A and B are shown apart, each in its own frame.
Chain A
Amino acid sequence: MAVRISATRTFSSTCRAEVALSRAKAEEAKPRPQQPYLSIRNLTKRFEKFAALDNVDLDIAEGEFVSILGPSGCGKTTLLRAVAGLDVQTSGTVHQAGRDISNLPVSGRDFGIVFQSYALFPNLTIAANVGYGLTSAGYKRQEIEKRVTELLNLVGLADQAKKYPAQLSGGQQQRVALARALALSPGLLLLDEPLSALDARVRARLRGEIRDLQRRLGITTIMVTHDQEEALTMSDRVVVMSKGRIEQIGTPDEIYGRPASAFVADFVGRMNFIPGNLLSDSMVEVKGAKLDFAEPVGLGRGSAVTVCIRPEDVVLHRGNGSDPNRLDAQIGVMEFVGNHFSTVLHAENTNLNISADFSMNDVREFGLASGKTVPIRLPPDRLRVFPNPPSEA
């Protein structure tokens, strides 16, 4: 447990020291960089016959912020609770910092947790809430007070120490819960939909704050969320789940730009889904249009596939070369959505309809208007081709 910042050290109150510490922490871990901090293998959780988690494998590096993203009921919370030991998995293993924690009880594991409801003790002051674990761990009163002050400073609530949870706003309560979870300097921070009870503006602000704090402390963090924006903006890596399985693990960029499955493509961001047939390894026929695509799918000719492209990846064709995937398209109704226009394009001589987004500049420059026909291009490296799932074929 050399890696863990031991509970006996005093917490630095300055940001600089925090950074230094997290760096120190990272260095200590260096001798075995190949070993992940948290390692989940073959994790399966059944409720009766129903598999809420189905053979999940996941590695998380030290200091990493990983989001578990997926629709409601896909098993995110179940995964988190298995890691915490709250609902232990049916089978599979979890290793934390090289230690097998698969069958340890909650109290034998090393994590701090923040729930959607915060679960603050309503009858205790903010200070008592934050110091709850410390009191029990047998610290001296002065030490506890010092540490609580540090923690409250850390989350910017030093002046609220004497108040009760119900007297704070939702966002403040959330930060108290965070401070409490960090009190014993756990090696792992678990967040279950930590922001979903807050309104949009507070949520946006807290995203940044939590991410900031996590970076400063360098604490390995898993956050469960169903909000893609949250996952994409806060995380080092995002794990997309569906029906108890992991669909994709990747950086936010990869998840957004190169979704590994139709499910991920659909769940993250907006996406055109167009049924088609493979003509070759690099060409697909969709509704009468023939399109090139960059990444081979390894399916036979004639296979039914789904072709995906994000609306913002549809571009206006400049120049007049016969580039691949060039189409003439008629503009449908144009909808102004804040900072860009959204429209549906009908590709001439085909049955192909595609949603597309155009910037204000494009609209002005090309004089886009409803009913007008313009040349467009679907960049082959932006087209994603997925095999049709057998049931939908």
Chain B
Amino acid sequence: MTAVAPTALAPVRQKLSADEVLMRIGVVLVGCFLLLAVVLPIWALLKKAFEDKSGNFVGLANIEQFFATPSLATSAMNSVFIALVSTVLCVGLAFVYAYGLMRTCLPGRGFFRIVSQIPLLAPSLLPAISLVYLFGNQGFATWLLFGHSIYGPIGIVIGEVFWTFPHALIIVTTALAIADARHFEAAQSLKASEWRIFMTVTLPGIRYGLISATFVVFVLVITDFGVPKVIGEQYNVLATDIYKQVIGQQNFQMGAVVGLVLLTPAVIAFFIDRIAQRRQTALLSARAVPLIPKPNKTVDWAFFAICSVIAAMIIIVLAVAFIASIAKFWPYDLTPSLKNYNFDMMDGGGWESYRNSLTMSALTAVIGTAVIFTGAYLLEKTTRFSAPRSIVRFLTLLPLAVPGLVLGLGFIFFFNDKDNPLNFIYGTMAILVLCTIGHFYSVAHLTATTALKQIDPEFETVSSSLKVPIYKTFLFVTLPVCLPAVLEIAMYLFVNAMTTVSAVVFLYSPKTTLASIAVLNMDDAGDVAPAAAMAIMIFMTSAVVRILYTIATGSFLRRAQAWRRR
């Protein structure tokens, strides 16, 4: 024992097993992937914002020029205005709708839930196009605007509220879901009025959810490009300016500055959202009793009425796009016809772009799910190696703070550089897939992490004590057990790849035109009905994928019932 003592005090460094070496390599690879798909492009964009046309550092000159250009400054004001108004409206509506779903016994809850998700399945261009048909100069409800024009702020706000609605709804619904029934019972036993309970229990309980939703929506709106592009006309906002600067004038430096300006609120919102979410989860004590709403005829029917109106609006917007797409010549000849689906005679790449979108979405779903789920697994399960892991973990969340438009721009700057050895992927399907995975990485990663946290943490320990290599356990246990989450990630990536416009609008090439971009280009060329038709194609494809997902998950759960009973 005395012989052992001196060495015994020396710090012990554990030898690495083959598994650990492999996993560390994996973590590093995931880090490299994120570096490539997010960090370096953003870095390229930041650098560009401080350079002149020939690449010399010019400090704040570009930024000064931005603020000195009256049209850009106006756009900035417009952007903030639109984002504020849309956010207030959207979060307000989402709150009422969510309240109806979670805290009342309104009939048709399942139906309302499904309808609320519709906007997620279409590009943001779709509501804008519908609004043209609804409230444009030839719209059938134009009189509702009392002489105001849908082109400009009104149209942008309505369109933005439409497509950000489900995003806000999900957050607020989650916040409402974790209420503790005991608080309400306590308040009721103290004879507090309904209103008082609402103000002192309900609202404080979801305040972080509301904060989170507010910032998420604000950023989505201020960085959205589809709606103002279609319906904004002369009402300029930053998101369309960035496009004009970059595509219209090929002024990359100014584009980078606008990108920087858009990045700022997104980054702020990112941090506030993080804090809010942490606080929100902290509100939920482990012993919370779930709140089960009690029927109350008046309240239930009142919310049924309100939710019906909101749901009807969503359905109308979708229906109008569909009707417009099958009308022969709006508004003069409304006989049904598939003429508008003859995309090959239009701008935007024709049916080829639809096929490209399918390819791109499928590749994004397959590769993205593999990378993201494996990455989440590695980050969860790699032992020690904590500094690299926390760096990579931070990188997985970074995309949340980067608007698609900014990421896409960063991609041009980074990959279209002649000196970049990866320059060859510029203009290919690969860059679209890479960018889309990067763009939607975080949410998918969080889904994977949540699923992984729910399974027993000792699977890996058990398997290494049984001398089974870790990848076998990953393949034969972890993956099957997490299959619902894996399917959800794949579905999420597919649908978003189908509908995204903002990041890829800078990156497509003639061989890789995409359906969502075709919607944009056809609308740009004045082919509004074919644009609506393509948007409907995107919607239907996403809807089918979502339905397939639901069926697959359902059958999986049924098959796996035997071992999933917890």
Contact = CB atoms under 8 A, between A and B. Distances in A.
A and B touch in the complex (CB under 8 A): yes
Interface stretch (B1-9, B46-54, B266-274, B297-305): B1-9
B461 A42 contact: no
Contacts of A181: 465
Contacts of B456: 115, 117, 119
B326 to A, nearest CB: 47
Contact of B12 (A89, A107, A180): A89
A273 B456 CA distance: 43
Contacts of A166: 562-566
B465 A119 contact: no
Interface in B3-45: 4-5, 7-20
Interface string B412-443: 00000000000000000000000000000000
The 5 closest A-B pairs by CB, nearest first: A133-B466, A105-B17, A119-B458, A164-B563, A42-B8
Interface in A79-94: 84-86, 88-93
Interface string B143-159: 00000000000000000
Contacts of B480: 123
B463 interface: yes
B472 A113 contact: no
B477 interface: yes
Given A119-B458, A166-B562, A181-B465, 5 more contacts: A91-B8, A113-B461, A115-B456, A121-B481, A136-B466
Contacts of A183: 466
Contacts of B477: 121, 123-124
Nearest to B458: A119
Contacts of B7: 93
Most chain A beta-carbon contacts within 10 A, residue among B383, B461, B462, B463? B462
A230 to B, nearest CB: 21
B486 to A, nearest CB: 13
B11 A91 contact: yes
A103 B15 contact: yes
A86 B461 contact: yes
Contact of B560 (A90, A123, A180, A184): A123
A107 B4 CA distance: 24
B467 interface: yes
B251 interface: no
A88 B563 contact: no
A115 B456 CA distance: 10
17 contacts: A41-B4, A84-B461, A84-B465, A90-B12, A91-B8, A105-B15, A105-B16, A108-B17, A112-B466, A115-B462, A119-B459, A122-B563, A123-B480, A132-B462, A136-B472, A167-B562, A183-B466
A115 B463 contact: no
B464 interface: yes
A53 to B, nearest CB: 12
Contacts of B10: 91
B12 A104 contact: no
Given A107-B19, A113-B465, A164-B562, A42 B13 contact: no
A102 interface: yes
Given A132-B463, A137-B467, A90 B8 contact: no
A37 interface: no
Interface of A: 41-42, 84-86, 88-93, 102-109, 111-113, 115, 117, 119, 121-124, 132-133, 135-137, 164-167, 180-181, 183-184, 186
B139 interface: no
B92 interface: no
Contacts of B466: 112, 132-133, 136, 180, 183-184
A104 B467 CA distance: 13
A93 to B, nearest CB: 5
A156 to B, nearest CB: 21
Contacts of B476: 121, 124
Interface residues of B, number: 41
Nearest to B460: A106
B265 interface: no
Nearest to A86: B461
A164 B559 CA distance: 12
Contacts, number: 122
Contacts of B468: 132-133, 135-136
Contacts of A167: 562-563, 565
A113 B461 CA distance: 9
Contacts of B465: 84, 106-107, 109, 111-113, 181, 186
A117 B469 CA distance: 22
Nearest to A186: B465
B481 A123 contact: yes
Nearest to A163: B562
B1 A41 contact: yes
A86 to B, nearest CB: 6
Contact of B563 (A123, A135, A136, A184): A123
B461 A103 contact: no
A41 B472 CA distance: 35
Nearest to A135: B468
A183 B465 CA distance: 11
A165 B464 CA distance: 20
Most chain A CB neighbours (cut-off 10 Å) among B5, B8, B465, B563: B465
Given A42-B5, A181-B465, A184-B467, A117 B458 contact: yes
A104 B469 CA distance: 16
Nearest to A89: B12
Contacts of B461: 84, 86, 106, 113, 115, 119
A55 B560 CA distance: 48
B564 A122 contact: yes
A102 B9 CA distance: 12
A105 B13 CA distance: 10
B9 to A, nearest CB: 5
A103 B14 contact: yes
Nearest to B465: A113
Nearest to A120: B456
A104 B14 contact: yes
A382 to B, nearest CB: 35
Given A91-B10, A123-B481, A136-B467, A180 B462 contact: yes
Nearest to A105: B17
A7 B462 CA distance: 18
Contacts of A164: 562-563
Interface string B388-421: 0000000000000000000000000000000000
Interface centre among B8, B9, B11, B476 (most CB of A within 10 A): B8
Nearest to A128: B476
A42 B9 contact: yes
Nearest to A166: B565
A186 to B, nearest CB: 8
A122 B454 CA distance: 13
